[in-house]
Amino acid sequence: MWFLNSHKSEIPAPADALPGRTQAMPVTNQHAVSGHVILPPFPEGTRLALFGLGCFWGAERKFWQTGGVYSTAVGYAAGLTPNPTYEEVCTGLTGHNEVVRVVFDPMAVTYGDLLKLFWESHNPTQGMAQGNDRGTQYRSGIYCLDETQKRLAEESRERYQTLLTKAGHPAITTEILDAPAFFYAEDYHQQYLAKNPLGYCGLGGTDVAYS
């Protein structure tokens, strides 16, 4: 996916961001793997989590393969442009990150479990990049739905930094923010690697286990 990106390394100023649109992106309300809904409302008792860890094709698969996850969806968040298209995000002029929204059953999988998967599934030290993918849309981010998620995210970042430092890795660049608006990506991106098993996605990793 990197070939469409202009390799922007900074979030644009609001005056420079693309205007976007009021219409939400239409998506099929059925997960291609689980068959569950990807649009709200979600079942009572489920919770939401939002992560950015590089190319959202591979990142989404990591989460839908996890027990206790009800459904997943990919989209754009933490930028400036409402309801952007993929092509607009790839210009670097929306400020958005490629993200995965996870709907999970906290009785079956905890937010801490999801954080462990997050840290171990990519390299969180690369700034505005992930593997060979370059640009602001590939940055590492945890977007928290409440204060408990934020506390757990910050504690996990500190813990993982200690492990990375011992292994000789640089500082974590992951942003931890209150959850911004989530804009669904185009239908063809949803569960992309389930529909296109030979598709490429450049997620990396550090080979350091979060424990």
Is residue 90 part of the annotated active site? The answer reads no
Question: For residue 108, what are its two tokens?
Answer: 């079956």
Of 55, 90, 144, 201, catalytic: 55
Distances (CA, A) of 49 to 21, 88, 109, 132: 25, 24, 12, 26
The Cα-based distances of 3 to 6, 87, 100 in angstroms read 8, 11, 21
Residue 180 three-state SS:
coil
Q: Which two tokens stand for residue 147?
A: 């204060």
For 36-67, the DSSP string reads --SSS---TT-EEEEEEES-HHHHHHHHHTST
Looking up tokens 């990506």 gives 185
Q: Which residues are catalytic?
A: 55
